[in-house]
Amino acid sequence: MKKLISAVSALTLFTSNSVFAQTEMADGMRSSGKIYVVVVVLATIFAGIFGYLVYLDRKVSKLERKN
């Protein structure tokens, strides 16, 4: 039980440190304008994945109707 408590407390400590580091990084990127580049790149990737899934769905639907 002591190992579990120490593991949970260590995990909490490491997680809180990474959250603070991410906040500082986000503030730095926001102040320099790079956050918008990240948002555009992520939006492009998700749009590409969505478009590919729609394409596959249409292709599969066409094959299902054919058989």
CB of 18 within 8 A of CB of 26? no
Please calculate the CA angle 14-17-19 and round it to the nearest 5 degrees: 110
CB of 29 within 8 A of CB of 38? yes
Domain boundaries, the chain: 1-32, 36-67
Over residues 52-61, the pLDDT tens digits come to 999 999 999 9
pTM of the model: 0.56
Stretches where the chain sits below pLDDT 50 are none
Amino acid at 6: S
CB of 26 within 8 A of CB of 35? yes
Distance of CA 46 to CAs 17, 30, 42, 49, Å? 29, 21, 6, 5
